[in-house]
Structure 1
Amino acid sequence: MTSTSPTLVLFDLDGVLVEYDRPRRLQHLGDAVGRTADEVYEALFGSGLEDRYDAGELSTDVYLTELGSHLGCTVDRATWSAARTASMTCTTETCTRIARLAQRVEVGVLTNNGVLLEALLPDALPGLFPLLEGRVFCSGTLRASKPSQDIYRITIERLGHAPHHTLFLDDNFDNVEGARAAGLFAEHVAHPGAFDTILACYGL
């Protein structure tokens, strides 16, 4: 912990700000394109396609084309986005808490996700926008992924803060350790929205 309150709090998205329901996403997309959830899982995750897209190795057009090829159908942006949106829940309470926090410090999001997710967030999570406009950083855009130290440094530099004035919250222990190695304060969040005690320990 630190005796000086951070000037920037960076949140992971899935598992910290929002509850992410992967099975719901798979079922939603499968229903939309006439495939089973298992087939969608294999196309996205079993093939490694999602990881490559999240790492910025593929453009969105190539990603969707490959996904459609795996599934034997066409998957457009709107269909993909609808399924991803259906998989995320951010409570009104969490949105209110983030808005209050933003009156004291700058807030942002750092997530291992592709460009499509960044584009859909304002519509998917209206309770957090325009508050987070320009403050969402995705691995697919930065072409670096947590827990690499580079992604933390790039993000806080773009937001104009220093590592030792930044608090990062994530539900993945490896990502927390990566942030600490980059010089940030970082803490593990056990459940979506469960960060009040952590913030209080940092004077927030």
Structure 2
Amino acid sequence: MVGLATIQTLLFDMDGVFCHYDFRYHLTLLEEWTGVSAAEIDERIFKSGFEDAANRGHYGGDAYIDEIARLLQFPIDAETWLLARAQAMTPYPKTAAIARRLKDHYPMALLSNNGWLLRENISRILPELPEIFERRLFFSAETGASKEKASSFAPLINMLGWQAGTTWLIDVNPVNISAASEAGLQTYHFSGPIAFTTDLIHLGLD
């Protein structure tokens, strides 16, 4: 249960909250453009532990795409990889509009489980995010830990000067939500912009 009187700061997720990310379509595009099967791309990049390591900041943008090219044995470049990522993302303008309203009342930040290449290019892919969050736009590559771990939240919360118990995480991933709850944050399982709008009204937050 959200403690309405205690919510002072908001921490948003990106994928699933500000956009729909179609992972399968992402793989399909990469298969078409590289000739490597979607199953092989999934196995070599996403299931191998490489992407998880990149999300924790172990690879800079250039090193990330170089390693992908090596793993796929195909000379893919950053622009092609980013284009596939961007085309697999459908923005949610309603969430952006809600966030702009909430920004007038609450300090807000965004924390996404993603690596340096996407972080360095997010202004091209979802330009509303830098506009809304400004310097409070963070990716796990910067913090060095993904949101699946409860310990990942304290460094960011402390850096922002916030308190865990008065911070509300808006996220789509139940694992992230469970970790945030363990870390003492209040949480909300985002299921879509329309439901979020309704719930904010019912909670008296919008």
Pick the TM interval, shorter chain: 0.7 to 0.9
Output the amino acid matched with 2:136: R
Which residue is equivalent to 1:203?
205
The one-letter code matched in structure 1 to 2:110 is: V
Tell me the secondary structure at the aligned position of residue 4 of structure 1.
Answer: helix
CA separation of 1:112/1:136 partners in 2, compared to 1, >3 Å: closer, same or farther? same
- If the length of structure 1 is used for normalisation, what is the TM-score? 0.88
Contact 1:187 1:198 in 2 (8 A): no
Q: Secondary structure at the match of 1:15?
A: coil
Equivalent position of 1:153 in the other structure = 154
Q: How does 1:146-185 map to 2 (within 5 A)?
A: 146-185=147-186
In percent, how many aligned pairs have the same letter? 33
What TM-score, normalized to structure 2?
Answer: 0.87
Q: Is the 8 A contact 1:17 1:193 kept in 2?
A: no
Q: Kindly state the Cα deviation for residue 92 of structure 1 after the two structures are TM-superposed.
A: 2.1
- CA distance in 2 between counterparts of 1:36 and 1:192 reads 34
* 1:143-184 deviation line (CA, Å, top 9, x unaligned): 111132232112222222211221001122221121122221
Give the 3-state SS of the residue equivalent to 2:75 in structure 1.
coil
Equivalent residues in 2 for 1:1-204 (5 A)? 1-4=2-5, 6-191=7-192, 194-200=195-201, 201=203, 203-204=205-206
Distance 2:3 2:34 in 1: 50
Per-residue CA deviations over 1:103-162 (Å, capped at 9, x if unaligned) read: 111222112111112222211112333222222221122111113223211222222221
Looking at secondary structure, tell me which structure has more helix per residue.
Answer: 2
State how far apart, in whole Å, the 2-side matches of 1:202 and 1:137 are.
Answer: 27
Q: Does the 8 Å CA contact 2:171/2:189 hold for their aligned counterparts? A: yes
Aligned length in residues: 204
Contact 1:16 1:194 in 2 (8 A): no
Q: Structure 1 residues 138 and 193 mapped into 2: Cα distance closer, same or farther (>3 Å)?
A: farther
Contact 1:55 / 1:145 at 8 angstroms: preserved in 2? yes
Deviation larger for 193-202 or 110-119: 193-202
Post-superposition shift, 1:101? Answer: 1.2
Contact in 1 for aligned 2:168/2:186 (Cα 8 Å): yes
How many angstroms apart in 2 are the aligned matches of 1:13 and 1:194? 17
State the AA in 1 paired with 2:33.
A
